[in-house]
Amino acid sequence: DVWDGQLAEHGAVVTAARIDILEALRLHFIEAYGSIAPHSRPADLAYLPTAGADLLPPAGESADVEHIRQSLLDRLADLRSKEIDRGVCLVGPHRDDVGVILGDEIAKGFASHGESWSLALSLRLASVALARAEGVEPVIMLDDVFAELDAARRRKLAEFTADAEQLLVTAAVAEDIPSGIGGRRVAIEVVADEEGRRSVLATGEEATGD
């Protein structure tokens, strides 16, 4: 009883905060995915609680900590014998998940390679938008992501990040970077000599764009 009570009390606070932040994040996520992959199926996010969907608030409302606490207590009581048998806690925020939805289904397991990359990028870009809404201008780092996207998605991603104050991009093939992304470009090459293999700045390969 002591364990369940404390798990429900503190878990409800964590769960409520997660639900509320996910609701704020999903609006940016939907916009980002629609910009990167405008011809794909619509994407969305959903909180998947182990204690049951009835602890989720009605659409447009904030999470109710007390309601979540009671839902956790009820579910923990229902599963107590199973938890004792298995020696693990089966309910709580540590076992909850976020569903990335594509169309009408959870994307995991059936989304294409391009869709998976677009969804992952959209989550990062949604985080950027959420940080900006709180007055923080983050540094955006895209590590060789253009190689995983087709030409249309590359162009859309370049357009979506065009207003970034600081954007760092890496690419194994320079041609993978859309022409719309300007700034300073630095080429790196691998050399091998008696000291071994190492990466160095390529002589004469620095370029300044727009």
Greater pLDDT, 57 or 59? 57
Q: Residue with structure tokens 């080429």? A: 187
Which tokens belong to 116? 């998976």
Instruction: Tell me the per-residue pLDDT of 86-105, one tens digit each, with 9 for 90 and over.
Output: 999 999 999 999 999 999 99
Contact 103, 42 (CB under 8 A): yes
Cα separation of 102 and 127, whole Å? 19
Please report which confidence band the pLDDT of residue 145 belongs to, taking 50, 70 and 90 as the band edges: confident
| Interatomic CA distance for residues 55 and 63, integer angstroms | 8
DSSP strand pairing (140-143 vs 196-201):
unpaired
State the pLDDT confidence band at 165, using cuts at 50, 70 and 90. confident
Residue 19 burial (CB count, 10 A): 19
Distance of CA 188 to CAs 24, 180, 181, 201, Å?
39, 21, 18, 5
At 190 the pLDDT is 84
CA separation for the pair 103, 135 (Å, rounded): 32
